[in-house]
Structure 1
Amino acid sequence: MKRVLIVLLALLLSSTLLFAAGEKEAAEAGAEKNVKLVYAEVNPLDSIVGKTGVYFKEQVEKLSDGTVTIDIQASGVLGSENDVLDSILGGGTSIDMSRISAFALTSYGAEKSKLLSIPFTFENREHFWAFANSDLAPEFLNEPHDIGLPIRGVFYGEEGFRHFFAAKHIGGIEDLAGMKLRVSNDPVMNGMVRGLGASPTVVSFGELYSALQTGVVDGAEQPIANYKANAFHEVAPNLILDGHTLGAIQVVITDTAWGKLSERQREAIMEAGKLAQAYNAEISENAENEVLAELKAEGVNVVDVADKTPWAEATKAVIEENTKSQAALYQQIKDMK
């Protein structure tokens, strides 16, 4: 009888504790605040990165039961990638998340991120995804936060290989000589363009269309989908598929925004990031092939590059200069092919 009473008391205590825990969890869920996060995207929503952002938004809102909503401000309405990063890193709170090119962090001290923008690093998409899904990737993704920047990485993606395009005809590497090519304010990009015999010219992304139209620059470089989505082919209808760099991208969230989220909401953000990364890998190549076919149908002069060896040789100096301090780490990435 005594043993039965002990068992009954234990069951009663267990039930009481479970009920109390359930009430606490319910109370915490009930107290969970609704959060709206502003997400900056420089490209239109019909681009690969735009579609990836929309998918991420949908997953976040679903996984958080609607307690977190994402407001995507696309087509550069909040400024260029560098404008957005300057605002965020300068303490601004109007932007909570942003999709950025990995190399955009180079100017802010992210040395590891620089390795992802080195010309001719990734041989193909499979090579990049071997890196992005590896145990090494989180080390790169977390670098901004680790070096003290008030942002943290959520997920990786890609927008296709980057190619040069121009208002003038480009039949080969020799045609780039003397051209004024638009670059962002990035040492790797500047060095690459000089190595190819052209003149790097810094122009804001938002001003690139008019700069091409008026001859301020002769050409620029972008992934195929972004080239079309931003209508650059209207003023620069010559595209050469040199594929000098894979357009590695990442989505970041500010520490301020992260601090507004409950643990459950943070988990929803990170889980949505995993799903969006997989979605990006799934759609990117097919979407790019469709866009390329459309460009050809519209009369864009598209030139294939059968042998990229001269291009890689021309950029050898900038590759060596920007990898020598992290040679072993860079070789790890190269060996993932």
Structure 2
Amino acid sequence: MKITVKSSRYYFSPVLLILSVLFSCDSQKKESELDEVYLNSLSSYRETLAEKSRMEYLQLIGRYQLFPDQQNYIGTRPDKAIMVEYEDFPEELGMVHFTPDSLIFVSAGFLFETADGSSDSTVQLPRTGWFRSEDYQYGRFSWHFLNREGNFFLRIRDHEHPEAMNFKGYHWFEPNAEFILDGEFIYFDQPLIEEVPSTLDFKENSVFIGQVKFNYRDETYTLDVGEEGFTTFADETSADQTYGAGRYLYITLPEKNGPVQVDFNYAYNPACIFSEFTTCKFAPPQNRLPFKILAGELSDPIDTGMAGVH
């Protein structure tokens, strides 16, 4: 179901400015060999995914739903509402309860570290207006809270998780000039909200601000695009060579309707390929492309013993 909502036009953000540098290449060379500057940029991007942002996903040890109508005690003891079955995790971490307006976490008598380096023993968050909280850390473990359509979750990480420490990344297709495509981006008159499938037991809302149109082998295709140029797509490699539910991609957007570049060499796996404890939105039906995109990240890991999620 699509719902039209009133909103102001979305323009460049600092994220897009960074991406525009990262994704830069000479479009005149698309039919010849990719130049060294482009290849170095792509290589740096891949290393960043494997060495930095992905560590968090592989460090996850659990995701637990929080219920507003009860006191959610957290720890390893069987009498806890949220029993964390993990070696070396604290016997008692604390308790989460809800008021009509807030989510409140109270530790089990210890101080934990917040994102700004300060110490605290309680957290109070509003029940609306946020997607993910900051991280809170105690020893080798950290945790944060998720808000998904009014459903709340606790997610816990082990910063010494051996799988994360040994992770080398996933294989990629070889850089492929055929999948650096010129397109045109058109902003919707008003952003659209659409329910899309996710890894959770309910559909989540995605906001689409416009559509990119591009040609591939004399056929025209489109992708609906979200805020900051983020899009999810699936293609005929999905569930075979690449992750089954699709991949993610950023497109550097113009300030107004105009030309863009769609570079599928930068397509990457969603977080849910790494862990069952992540949350991922899947590609909507209109973003399923009827051909193979032989570019971007693959679904088989590099020499780690990880099976991956297909």
Which category describes the TM-score, using the shorter chain as reference length?
A: under 0.3
TM-score by length of 1: 0.22
Higher relative contact order (CA 8 A, sep 6+): 1
Q: Which structure's residues are more often helix, by fraction?
A: 1
Q: Which structure's residues are more often strand, by fraction?
A: 2
Q: Say which one has the larger Rg.
A: 1
TM-score by length of 2: 0.24
